[in-house]
Structure 1
């Protein structure tokens, strides 16, 4: 099944009904498809906005708060307005326990980060079963071992990605996704490492959770990937860059998200997951970033 549609991981009916509460019929159509909604601007004016059901939080941002009060943190994210989360560490909770907490506050897990060595080893079956339990669609490789950072190493990873992606599909999940860092965009012996993964993986089995901060940090242009490789990027890590190159709350830094997202639909983006690697106050970051994305017109 096409994972660009099946982001419900098997439990989407109840989530879809919750997402539609309090919305107009026009916005409901946008949420149901995950496509950008139309705000109706006049000629020459920005008229697109992000679907509210597509604005999520990658929970790595909230790791300190989650370690203290997992359920309370989820409650506060839901109250801010977030609809979805990317799971990155369960802080001692089982997948079933996390699912119950998410359901209780009406949040939807869309993906989970799982270590590469787990997915390529005997832990693959349990990892995929846990995705089903969470109600998420996409297993995500968060990074590759440093020893693989060469053209040959990335080609080996591409072969493994295809195998894992096939297993995910056979298990009734969406494609395997890869989350990038700046070092993944370097050129080694004339070869761009990230491009190896994009061009040598099967588009039906493997997609990408593009971290736009790390892409820019590594010298890449996220919008160009959306154009050159349509449909390959169902999820983004939306992370801003401060003037000094550090992390910033979304909307407070230097990245031009309006221009970047202009091609997001072509790239297949369905989820915009906020992330900040080192927030001083994670809840302030969550509020500031949500407010910016919910109000963005482009």
Structure 2
């Protein structure tokens, strides 16, 4: 990226941050989890590791992928999580990311992709430039202890191949992963029956908390296994909210960064009314947060 582009991004980041403090950011003072706790601590989310899952802006990516990526770069995001390529080849999609000044850190791939031509998927991941390949969900037919043990074995094989290719293999949770079936928490099966050298986790903080589980407890039980956070907030009624405008105490969670092993902080909102407004509000929270 040219120095002019960098200067423009810095200007936009400062302008948006000031606007958040003076305007939209005022909403943070209206009883949100972050505003209700003092901004103590010397640490911040590393700016080069503030990202957004492109699923958040999927409605815009369908019609104008380059313009949408450019807008995310102008907001200040450094990285993205890829959620499909919208009809583009890996090379074309990488070129669009490069033009926007964004780095893809992960790509979501289905279980069917794992079971298909996995080497091709790993090759495509290298073209995109990602660090991690992530299975984002499991079908309901596998929501049993037996199903999760089967998947754990498949993940082991896929994760071994990913490691040999210089990539991390991760699984992204939803609330159903925390179901207790026959006395076993399904998510725990994946953690206990896979090797940390081959399989780790993109923990979706919203879905873990929505299911009634504390991410910090998982960090203590399985240290170092959560290199990616899906940073998603939860409204008082349980619906999705922009980061910093809901009830989740991100400071408390982020303080355990070393225990968790987190490297990437990836914003997501499943149902934003205005995707770019949501993206901007969440970015401003992570940019200004101290913990």
Q: Under TM normalisation by the shorter chain, which class is it?
A: 0.7 to 0.9
Structure 2 CA distance for aligned equivalents of residues 120 and 262 of structure 1: 37
Match of 2:162 among 134, 149, 168: 168
Alignment of 1:30-69 (within 5 A): 45-69=40-64
Match of 1:208 among 181, 187, 201: 201
Per the alignment, in what secondary structure is the counterpart of residue 50 of structure 1? coil
Aligned residue in 2 for 1:98: 93
- Please say if 1:272 is aligned against 2:272: no
Structure 1 CA distance for aligned equivalents of residues 213 and 151 of structure 2: 20
Please report how far the alpha carbon of residue 265 of structure 1 lies from its aligned counterpart in structure 2 after TM superposition.
2.2
Q: TM-score, normalised by structure 2?
A: 0.86
Structure 1 CA distance for aligned equivalents of residues 135 and 172 of structure 2: 6
Match of 1:79 among 74, 79, 86: 74
| Cα offsets for 1:126-178 (capped at 9, x unmatched) | 111110000011110011111111111101111110000011112222x2100
Match of 1:259 among 252, 261, 265: 252
Aligned residue in 2 for 1:32: none
Per the alignment, in what secondary structure is the counterpart of residue 208 of structure 1? strand
- Please say if 1:140 is aligned against 2:107: no
Structure 2 CA distance for aligned equivalents of residues 288 and 116 of structure 1: 32
| Cα offsets for 1:105-126 (capped at 9, x unmatched) | 21000110001011122x2111
Structure 1 CA distance for aligned equivalents of residues 244 and 110 of structure 2: 30
Q: TM-score, normalised by structure 1?
A: 0.84
RMSD over aligned Cα, in angstroms? 1.8
Where in structure 2 are there 5+ consecutive unaligned residues? 11-38
Given that 1:148 and 1:154 are in contact with CA atoms closer than 8 Å, whether structure 2 keeps it comes out as yes
Q: Relative contact order, CA 8 A, sep 6+: which one is greater? A: 2
Q: Which runs of 4+ in 1 moved over 4 A?
A: none
- Please say if 1:285 is aligned against 2:282: no
Structure 2 CA distance for aligned equivalents of residues 48 and 283 of structure 1: 27
Where in structure 1 are there 5+ consecutive unaligned residues? 1-13, 24-43
Structure 2 CA distance for aligned equivalents of residues 113 and 186 of structure 1: 23
